[in-house]
Amino acid sequence: MGKRSKLYKAQLGKFDKATQYQLAEAVKVLKELPQPKFDQTVELSFKLGVDPKQTDQTVRGALPLPKGTGKTVKVCVIADDDTRRKEALDAGADFAGYEDIIGKIKEGWVDFDVLIATPSAMSQVRPLGRQLGPKGLMPNPKTGTVTDKVAHAVSEAKAGRVEFRADKGACVQVPVGKLSFKAEDITENCIAVVKAIIKAKPASAKGVYLQSCTLSATMTPGIKVDARTMAKELA
């Protein structure tokens, strides 16, 4: 393990790393830690009781954070008809097109954070997997980014929509806002994420689903959250 910075050591001295805090208390502790001079991203991390190797135990989804993400989101829409493209631009999309956008992506352009596509355009979007897949930008019906309701999808993305997906180790990390947010706003975003994770529980998953939960910011240690109590209260 690398040598810890003075800031990290100072932060560790402000709370008990072994204690499992209630969510609101964990947020309070996080906000009171010594901080660097930039607005850190706050993240919830989970260890889930699922087997990602089983196709029926995939955990994936998306949700709009009630208090937003605190960042500006660039949204691109690929639609094969003028009406949907106009709807997208009217809703605030930064880019909207069809063959022109597809051509630019093939050449390596990915200057956007969210890509939304209509179902009828997906036959042309799927071959872009090499460019979009590694960056997590491929549209997917499960995350609401393959839809004919492009205006709604754009509005959600702009308002603060986040996606989540369990990795090979059954872990999920989800951004829940910025540390400059009010404590109650971070807590509200966290509650929305936890509810979405619980709702995404596969029917075939057995045993304890939310095995652990940790709250952290970009440059802080993780603060343990009492996952089991939280799961009972929010289920």
* Distance, C-alpha 185 to centroid of its chain: 16
Q: Taking the CB of residue 47, how many other CB atoms lie within 10 A of it?
A: 17
Q: pTM for the complete prediction?
A: 0.79
pLDDT confidence bin for 2, thresholds 50/70/90: low
pLDDT tens for 152-199 read 999 989 988 888 999 999 999 999 999 999 999 999 999 999 999 999
Alpha helices by DSSP H, the chain:
6-12, 23-32, 82-90, 99-106, 122-125, 129-132, 150-160, 183-199, 227-234
Of residues 91, 89, 137, the one with CA closest to residue 112: 137
Residue 123 to residues 80, 127, 230: CA-CA distances in angstroms?
Answer: 11, 8, 42
- Write down the pLDDT at residue 122: 96
pLDDT at 1 over 60: no
Query: DSSP assignment, residue 57?
Result: G
Distance in Å from the first CA to the final CA of the chain: 37
| Residues 115, 137: Cα–Cα separation, whole Å | 6
Tokens 């204690």, located at residue: 19
The identity of residue 83, as a single letter, is T
